[in-house]
Structure 1
Amino acid sequence: MNATRTRVQRRPVHGVVLLDKPIGLSSNDALQKVKWLLRAEKAGHTGTLDPLATGVLPLCFGAATKFSQLQLDAPKTYEALVCLGATTTTGDAEGDVVQNWELGAAERAALTAQRLAQVAAQFTGDIQQVPPMYSALKRDGKALYEYARAGITIEREARAVTIYRLELTICEDEQSFIAIKMVVQCSKGTYVRTLAEDIGTALGAGAHLRSLRRVETGGIDLSGTVTIEQIEATPDAERLQYVLSVDTLLAAHTRVTLDGDNAARFLSGLRRRGEWADADAVAVYGDVSTVRPEACQSFGVAGHSLQGSVGANDDPPALLGVAHIRARELIPDRLLSPIEIQQILEGTPRPQASGILETS
């Protein structure tokens, strides 16, 4: 007899969950788990973390998915433990050992703070990296790791990445093997496993990644994160408390607020003029409670959709989208839809404290 399957009733969820991803799950596995727990209709993550890695992984729901690219492109900070004396097939602890180095007293004595500082300087700034075979990069429609598992090595071209900060400190791992604690802030596209291997090569000791934790991405750190276990332990009716507002992803944006008529025109994709300084990243808000019905109709939604029970006059302005400013023109880049704005106003997630700047 087949067991009865319970159909999950999906709902519109708009906002961001700052997840502390556990070890062993891929980014997509973690996303799908949280999406199911929230019963959300639409979701996406902001950059992959290997199953070996843990740490901050912003998950975007609904309207927030429109701004996920901002986090994909943002610098990221990791704390890693790099094991010296051995290289592996995968560049991390999950692979088979390829080569061992004997690290005697003389070799250990040579790993001074001054030597580590020299190597850190060597790998700081704009550098070239050859992507590892165990990666999701595609060649002829297949991921490189598929070739690697079949014992096939594909020629890869070096790619430019940027290391903004690199700190190396000698330590021991839990098995008392000599290791390096590494703190690195880097650009998108950086493979920390490859960086660990290259540092081992520079030290003449060989190395692989023992552990990896993302502690910050695009200004978002671990302080506001939640675990999957916390969400699971929370009753279904209370789980939306972990969903932060959409503009959590826009903390570094300049803020511009439009009145009702200008908000409606901006939402229709029209540029607006004002006394604004040039800015590349602008979070645009509007007082939708004063949007005239005929203005709403001009961008395809009945006026009452943004009036009446939502957007009362004493409510804060609603997020409309992001833009940039050139020559005193506010130019739309990504816009929320009227239905997304309505749904957000009807069930606004708690805001994330941010450093959004207000401009006139």
Structure 2
Amino acid sequence: MILEIAWTTFIGSIVYGSTPYVWKGMQKSTQNSKLRKAFINGELYRKEKDSKIKVKPNIINTKINDKKMTFVFSIPKGVNPDDFIKKAYVFKQHFNDYIDLKVENKRGILNVYPKGLPTKFNYAYQVLSHRLPIMCGRSLEGSMFSFDLVENPHMLVAGETGSGKSSALRSILTTLIKSKNPDELRLLLGDLKRSEFHLFKKIEHVDGVYHSAGDIGLPLMKVKKEMMRRGDMLDEAEVNSIDELPNKPPYIIVCIDEVALLKKEHDIMDILEEISSIGRSLGVFLILSMQRPDAQLLDGKLKVNLTVRMGFKTADKINSKIIGTPGSEELDIPGRMLLRINSHLQEIQAPLLENNIAKKLLEPYKKSNVVQFQKEPDIMELFKE
């Protein structure tokens, strides 16, 4: 009778929440058990010689809340940490598709997100504290993820038609324009498909929208000349970055859509490579976009210096590997990307920004009295002799 009363009281306490620590302990035990099974099924352990003993990872810590589950585990000596990344699918099989795995030599951190990502949400401008804010989209944490292009210079955006790449570019440029004054940021845009950047032609921050190699060559030469001038300024002031100059010149972003069409333009590609190599300290940055990754273009210094990759839906594993976002071939939701910053890869849902909405957001930033069919757009004043 006493045992029955005790058991009834225990069950009631769980139902009515008076023993949350017991309930959380049961949750942790269940989830830790799943993780141990993942280690075994993925053969993520070390076998002792001449023995059946398996030295498995030790679960150091487990935290569970409404948004995510976090597991910290040790990596046994003799086990390749890269094997955990290669077999990330095992963790997805035991938990769900929405995981984030970080691995060091001796330790791994696995985050599991039960709620996943939204399949669609509309763009809304947010004030960001970064020097050059790149607003990416909704992360698995449930918040908007952004980064500073100054800290993580030069980015590649790639994805098939209909993958959401164009909307993401629209969001990125719109956020930059709304975040910075024209004397803080200048934009040079290459629209080689003549389909993406017409919205930005009359914007105060934009010094030109160019549609061919012949059009964009001269402005890029002037960017190169400006970089030399800025380098002299740094030498004279004995500083490492334009951010340290008393009269700081504006940041310059060269954004080119379908940059693969320029791969035979060696002079232009040399300038882009030079920007990727030395542009950061000089305040000059690249945002390059393409539908299909080009192995020849993305092979060398330029690829190495593009520290940020946004990989939307690709045709196959080969293409996703070229971009540097393995797994993007499996994405099937418009606006869904794999974002790689340096070596860290995470899944992001980019916001939807339609042309008509972007046009309204950009209206306050239009130049007045602009000639509509100007053959040779003016280059920024600082480029002039």
**Could you state the TM-score of these two structures normalised by the residue count of structure 1?**
0.25
Greater helix percent: which structure?
Answer: 2
Bigger CA radius of gyration = 2
TM-score, length basis structure 2: 0.24
Tell me which protein shows more strand as a share of its residues. Answer: 1
